[in-house]
Amino acid sequence: MNAAKRREIFRRLKEHNPQPTTELEFVSTFELLVAVMLSAQATDLSVNKVTRKLFPIANTPEAILALGIEGLSNYIKSIGLYNGKAKNIIATCQQLINLHNSQVPCTREALEALPGVGRKTANVVLNTAFHQAVMAVDTHVFRVSNRTHLAIGKNVLEVEEKLMKVISKEYLVDAHHWLILHGRYVCKARKPQCGSCCIEDLCEYPAKTSDI
């Protein structure tokens, strides 16, 4: 895919959604971090249902730490892998208090040093909270990038690195939100809505009814 076509894809995505953002609900960087940690292998909708009950009770490292693993688990048990997530969130809260004055750090290295925080989670926080031009590649971004031929890769890191190289600077900060939302609502895994896709004529995937 040539540069002009890539630029036009993001021009149209921006035209349809000028200010894209995550669908996770949060009012602080710490709430965002917890929500993203909970979202692994879970939908944003299911996470929002949980955090609407959790955050009014505990939305600081100290308050969640005071709940303990069992107390936190009671709030998040409707989410998959909740036991492991509770342990990681409690350990992360302790580390934030001990090492970062209860603040969420703004570097990849410090974020990835937190228990349960991998590259994708770090990228979401860096992009959404700190407006850094990084690319969080989830299943939607991976699918859309490969299906359209925007950036073809065999794994998420390969796709991430290619997207960082080929997306114009003017679109890079918002690009991962556009791709996630496009994959979630239009370029769906099993039944892509090609007829209502604003970039259908720019898509280079030869068999649009197939799946990636």
Instruction: For residue range 72-82, list pLDDT tens digits in order.
Output: 999 999 998 99
Topology alike, domains 3-20+134-202 and 29-128: no
Choosing from 49, 85, 120, 165, which is the catalytic residue? 120
3-state helix, strand, coil in the chain (%, to 5): 60, 0, 40
10 Å Cβ neighbour count for 28?
Answer: 13
Choosing from 138, 169, 174, 201, which is the catalytic residue? 138
CATH number assigned to the domain covering 3-20+134-202:
1.10.1670.10
Is the Cβ–Cβ distance between 174 and 190 less than 8 Å? no
Provide the residue-wise pLDDT of the chain in tens; the chain has 212 residues.
899 999 999 999 999 999 999 999 999 999 999 999 999 989 999 999 999 999 999 999 999 999 999 999 999 999 989 999 999 999 999 999 999 999 999 999 999 999 999 999 999 999 999 999 999 999 999 999 999 999 999 999 999 999 999 999 999 999 999 999 999 999 999 999 998 999 999 998 865 444 44
**Topology classification of domain 29-128:** Endonuclease III; domain 1 (1.10.340)
Name the residue with tokens 């036009």: 8
pTM, 2 dp: 0.90
131: tokens are 């407006």
The verdict on whether 201 is a catalytic residue reads no
The verdict on whether 211 is a catalytic residue reads no
Where exactly are the structural domains of the chain? 3-20+134-202, 29-128
